[in-house]
Amino acid sequence: MKPVYELMVLVCSTMIASNAIAADWTQFRGPGGQGVTSEEGLPLTWSDTENISWKTQLPGYGASSPIALGDRLYVTCYSGYGIDRKNPGSMEDLRLHVVCLNRAGKILWDQQVEPRLPESERVRDHGYSAATPATDGKHLYIFFGKTGVLKFDLDGNQLWQTDVGDKTHGWGCGTSPVLFENLVIVNASVESGSLVAIDKESGKEVWRADGMNASWNTPHLVQLGDGATHELVVSVKDKILAFDPASGDALWSCDGIPDYVCPSIVSLDGTVYVIGGRSSRAIAVKAGGRGDVTDTHRLWEAKAGANVVSPVIHDGHLYWVSDRNTIAYCVRLEDGEVMYSERFRGQPYASALAGDGKIYVVTRNGGTYVLAAKPEFQQLAHNELDDRSTFNASPIAAHGKLYLRSNQYLYCIEK
């Protein structure tokens, strides 16, 4: 039997490690890709003179979100070309950046990556670095579209680079990598119309699945009822598709959004929730089926949707603000009933963040709105900054702080 002192040290160490993991934000939309944080005491209001811990100008533009690991932040950007639409410059000067900052906002390193050219001459709204990095705590995994998937160590040394396709699009690349066991998985819909899994150690392709038609959303890992089984689900034009994440084998499909799809999927208790398309639809599907499950596992469809933004789940409801018709929605998970649809000021491209009883909605040019996380519409705050740059990146929460990224700056917000 261990001495009492050793047991106390072991318990305390475990609690500290557990809290550190919970406080990190290691991929697009955080834990599970859900856009939900367990952080408490998050700030409700801020301005240029209130609750801004620091503001750092980044070495380039971009629409990716930062991630947080320990006492460091990582984010991507681009420079040299396409910043000014009227005078884009020379494409040969385009550079991609992987940037590391400490929690005080100081840039520790800026690793530049030479892009694979020619890139798309014009990327609408988002630029050349829209994909958010992912980390397993030891390395960084970056997706730069046509330039490929790259692995870095935490000090900025590039370890490998893998090609996933060479096509481009005027909307650019909008999907972020997800990690599963020994794999890094990307939706290379633009680059090759495929879902690609790469071995994290070697950088070699492990499997590839076709059929990624008009899909700009990040794949979502759904945990089934036994807690050990996962399905990889992605929304494409007309279909919702599920795969075995380890092998890439197709598992099931369901009729989905009859349009190109940008919003990422969220899930709860083995049910996936999909929104998207200019036709404004929300769909719930029970995971775990096989083959075409449209008639057997599709639970409901609601007349509510969005073109770009992804929803969040809180206490039995879905929340989001549509970028298409600027309406704030709350939809009940149980049956798809629309609890409210309220006209909203400001257009978001960023996906919402839920935490501490609040829904944070970052608009492109109209500031950040804070809504109450309840099925009755209530605006708690509207926070504006004297920053004329555009906010396309989804906000994150880590270590008791909010981080907002505009196309020029990274902000740390705390009480």
- What does the pLDDT profile of the chain (415 residues) look like in tens digits? 444 433 333 333 333 333 334 489 999 999 999 999 999 999 999 999 999 999 999 999 999 999 999 999 999 999 999 998 889 999 999 999 999 999 999 999 999 999 999 999 988 778 999 999 999 999 999 999 999 999 999 999 999 999 999 999 999 998 999 999 999 999 999 999 999 999 999 999 999 999 999 999 999 999 998 777 899 999 999 999 999 999 999 999 999 999 999 999 999 999 999 999 887 899 999 999 999 999 999 999 999 999 999 999 999 999 999 998 899 999 999 999 999 999 988 999 999 999 999 999 999 999 999 999 999 999 999 999 998 899 999 999 999 999 999 999 999 999 9
Assigned token pair, 138: 């030891």
Q: Which two tokens stand for residue 131?
A: 């994909």
Under CATH, which number does the domain 218-309 receive? 2.40.10.480
Instruction: Say which residue the tokens 């406080």 belong to.
Output: 23
Q: Which residues contact 124 (CB under 8 A, 6 or more apart)?
A: 170, 171, 172
Three-state DSSP at 209 gives strand
Please count the residues of the chain: 415
Closest CA to 145 of 135, 158, 125, 130: 130
Measured between alpha carbons, how far is 274 from 271 in angstroms, rounded to an integer? 10
Looking at 181-270, which runs of residues are DSSP E strands? 183-188, 194-199, 205-210, 220-223, 230-236, 239-243, 250-255, 266-268
Q: What is the pLDDT of residue 277?
A: 83
118 cis-preceded (ω within 30 degrees of 0): yes
Q: Where are the domains of the chain?
A: 40-58+311-415, 66-181, 218-309
Please report the pLDDT score of residue 18 as a whole number.
Answer: 36
Sheet order of strands, 312-314 included: 312-314, 317-321, 327-332, 338-343
Task: Please provide residue 412's backbone torsions phi and psi, each rounded to the nearest 5 degrees.
Answer: -110, 125
The arrangement of secondary structure in 40-58+311-415, i.e. its CATH architecture, is: 7 Propeller (2.130)
| C-alpha pair distances (Å), 263 with each of 173, 260, 276 | 13, 10, 6
The angle subtended at Cα 274 by Cα 243 and Cα 182, nearest 5°, is 35
Backbone phi, psi, residue 279, to 5°: -85, -5
- Identify which of 32, 33, 38, 46 has the alpha carbon closest to the alpha carbon of residue 357: 38
Residues pairing with 187 in the sheet: 195
**pLDDT of amino acid 119:** 95
